[in-house]
Amino acid sequence: MSVCVCVCVCVYVSQAQAEAKRQRLIYEGVEVMCELFSGEEELSAVWQGMAGALAGGERRSRRARRNRQPLNVSSFNTLRELKLNIFQALNVHPLNAQVG
């Protein structure tokens, strides 16, 4: 009888964990920032700065970027919708865009 109780508890716990994970993956109305870069050098400088900040380095204030735009996204947006929203926010024609 103790084996049956243990199995039932394990199944219940795994179902509860799966539901908690599913709830964490559902979001709506989250604001993210997108930014337009003019070239590879500028983009690589930003990536290096982010890597230093994540490694515990000193966070330096940066000037406000004029090409930075907020976007509201949800977990129900498709990748295509996200790309089109980014292009629209940054005034980039989809045929002229290069996504890196």
- Res 85 pLDDT > 70: yes
Round to whole Å and give the CA distance between 39 and 67: 13
Average pLDDT over residues 72-92: 89
Task: Check residue 65 and give its pLDDT.
Answer: 58
- Res 93 pLDDT > 70: yes
pLDDT digits (tens, 9 = 90+) for 14-58: 888 888 888 888 888 888 888 877 767 666 766 666 666 555 555
Largest CA distance in the chain: 68
Query: Is pTM beyond 0.75 here?
Result: no
Q: What is the DSSP string of 12-48?
A: HHHHHHHHHHHHHT---SEEEEEE--SSHHHHHHHHH
The pair of structure tokens assigned to 7 is 């199995």
**Residue spans per domain, the chain:** 22-96
pLDDT digits (tens, 9 = 90+) for 50-80: 666 555 555 555 555 566 888 999 989 998 8
Mean pLDDT of the chain: 75
The pair of structure tokens assigned to 4 is 């049956």
